[in-house]
Amino acid sequence: MHVVIIGNGISGVTAARNIRKLSDYKITLISSETTYFFSRTALMYIYMGHMRFVDTQPYEPWFWKKNRIDLKKAHVEKIDFSKNQLHFEQGESLQYDKLILALGSTPNKFGWPGQDLKGVGGMYSFQDLEKMEQYSKDLKQAVIVGGGLIGIEMAEMFHSRNIPVTFLVRENSYWDAVLPKEESEMINRHIKANHIDLRLSTELKEIVDDGNGVACAAITNKEERIDCGFVGLTAGVHPNINFLKETQLEIQKGILVNKFLETNIKDVYAIGDCAQITEAQPGRRPIEAVWYTGRMMGETVAYNVCNKKIAYDPGIWFNSAKFFDIEYQVYGTVSAKAPENHLSIYWEHEDGDKSIRIVFNKTNQATIGFNLMGIRFRHEVCEKWIAEKTPIETVLANLSLANFDPEFFTQYEGELVAKYNSKFQKSITLIKKRKWADVFSFLKK
């Protein structure tokens, strides 16, 4: 049995590792990006000088041979599903018995004039990093288009080298389709405090050619010209599936898969950013371009490829990121615009760079989400409260269980409880002194 995996990101590599644990199948892992798997989320730290590229590779080169996973650096140009055959750009072909598509994402482009000029790039692949590095020498000004997580990472990268950045965000406030109003405004302030020229409610209209095929300026929808030597396009990503659209594979925005990650073609699976779940769980999106879901899909598909059938279950939503110096965590359901049956208690530090939000159901008081800025809570504790639909007042009384490191981190749980008591005329008392043994006992219940 020959299993071929296209894509050596977290999804594809996790699939390969787990197939090896479960079977003696021949495994071939293909990528045209890099020979060895690397941590995509660490690319920014290479540019910032915190890491070398080799430091982003979790496995030594000998790991692959030892685990009998064949690596092939090549670009797949065409897949003949009727003959179970891959055709490469170099003219070679490869036969497979089972195929896993872990194709990842590609940056969005919306037909802007000049979007394909030199000096224009995203921040997704290793090649994108190389392009940024190439154009950063003597760079006097950069423009970034798109107010998501990749955009703010790119802004921090340029900022680390003292390169001025103008950040174009079409929304009225940064990431306000995801973050509630207060948290979004906090990040607006923090971006500006880091000397980034944040332009809200501003869109890209055109990228100007210097006459030699290189970007030299960006024109906004307000007809303002911003001279620059690099334009970063970070307005989201979409599944990297264009070369499959004329095949018999069923595709919408992504490759359609069932709960077992099977496509409409026998022995062909799709995982990670390119997969669109047809039976997505309530409250979850059909496509989730997130590291941890990619890893979970990789593990799930390994079992299904090895005839140990299990359904994909992403569990309770969570995500984490960093906005310059502010860490962000979200667990469960926290809506930018809360539905009528959602209430929340929100506390913000007087310095304006830390906050806690807990969301609960108005009807049954069940806790449904946590939003944290600059403060860490224990993932397992928050997830348990959400899974068990714990009443908000029980959560508040025991909130010190969630504190990530009570020995070294300042605790603000008491201030949140006081805010709740004042807002809802309650008298909840926080149980303050909690040890790791208390957390362990709670999680074991």
Q: What is the structure's pLDDT at 287? A: 96
Both tokens of 60, joined, read 């030594």
Measured from the Cβ of residue 23, the count of other Cβ atoms closer than 10 Å reads: 16
Q: What is the structure's pLDDT at 442? A: 85
What is the residue type of 284? Answer: R
Residues 45-89: pLDDT tens digits?
999 999 999 999 999 999 999 999 999 999 999 999 999 999 999
Q: Exposed/middle/buried for 292, CB within 10 Å: 0-12, 13-18, 19+?
A: middle
The overall pTM is greater than 0.85: yes
Flag whether pLDDT at 9 surpasses 90. yes
Residues 98-133: pLDDT tens digits?
999 999 999 999 999 999 999 999 999 999 999 999
Counting Cα atoms < 13 Å in the Cβ hemisphere of 326 gives: 25
What is the residue type of 386? Answer: I
Residues 6 or more apart whose CB falls under 8 angstroms from that of 72 comprise 28, 29, 30, 31, 94
Q: What is the structure's pLDDT at 280? A: 87
Share of the chain above pLDDT 90, in %: 92
In whole angstroms, how far apart are CA 380 and each of 313, 330, 439?
A: 17, 12, 10
What does the alpha-carbon distance between residue 236 and residue 158 come to, in Å, rounded to a whole number? 19
Task: Quickly tell me which residue has 């024109």 as its tokens.
Answer: 219
* Structural contact between residues 231 and 120, judged by C-beta atoms closer than 8 angstroms: yes
Give me the mean pLDDT over the 413-439 stretch. 89
Q: What is the structure's pLDDT at 376? A: 92
One-letter-per-residue 3-state SS of 191-242: HHHCCCEEEECCCEEEEEECCCCEEEEEEECCCCEEECCEEEECCCEEECCH
Domains by residue range for the chain, with CATH: 2-106+238-305 (3.50.50.60), 120-235 (3.50.50.60), 318-444 (3.30.390.30)
Residues 277-332: pLDDT tens digits?
998 888 889 999 999 999 999 999 999 999 999 999 999 999 999 999 999 999 99
Contacts 24+ apart (CB under 8 A), 355-360: 355/182, 355/183, 355/186, 356/412, 356/413, 356/416, 357/180, 357/182, 357/183, 358/392, 358/395, 358/396, 358/416, 359/332, 359/333, 359/334, 359/335, 360/391, 360/392
Q: Is the dihedral of CA 433, 439, 444, 445 positive or negative?
A: positive
The enclosing H or E element of 73 equals strand 69-73
Q: What is the structure's pLDDT at 406? A: 63
Q: What is the structure's pLDDT at 443? A: 87
CA nearest neighbour of 175 among 184, 185, 166: 184
DSSP state at residue 377: B
Give me the mean pLDDT over the 161-184 stretch. 97
Give me the mean pLDDT over the 240-245 stretch. 95
Q: What is the structure's pLDDT at 282? A: 84
Flag whether pLDDT at 409 surpasses 80. no
Counting Cα atoms < 13 Å in the Cβ hemisphere of 368 gives: 18
One-letter-per-residue 3-state SS of 311-336: CCCCCCCEEEEEECCEEEEEEECCCC
**CA-CA-CA-CA dihedral for 345, 349, 353, 358, to nearest 10:** -20
The enclosing H or E element of 360 equals strand 355-361
Measured from the Cβ of residue 288, the count of other Cβ atoms closer than 10 Å reads: 20
Share of the chain above pLDDT 70, in %: 99
Q: What is the structure's pLDDT at 436? A: 74
Please count the helices (runs of H) and the strands (runs of E) in the chain.
11, 25
Q: Is the dihedral of CA 184, 185, 186, 187 positive or negative?
A: positive
Residues pairing with 100 in the sheet: 5, 269
Task: Quickly tell me which residue has 């209209």 as its tokens.
Answer: 205
Q: What is the CA radius of gyration of the chain?
A: 24
CA nearest neighbour of 364 among 394, 337, 335: 394
- CA end-to-end span of the chain, whole Å? 43
Q: What is the structure's pLDDT at 169? A: 97
Residues 204-226: pLDDT tens digits?
999 999 999 999 999 999 999 99
Contacts 24+ apart (CB under 8 A), 277-282: 277/312, 281/313, 281/314
Both tokens of 199, joined, read 């332009």
What does the alpha-carbon distance between residue 257 and residue 360 come to, in Å, rounded to a whole number? 32
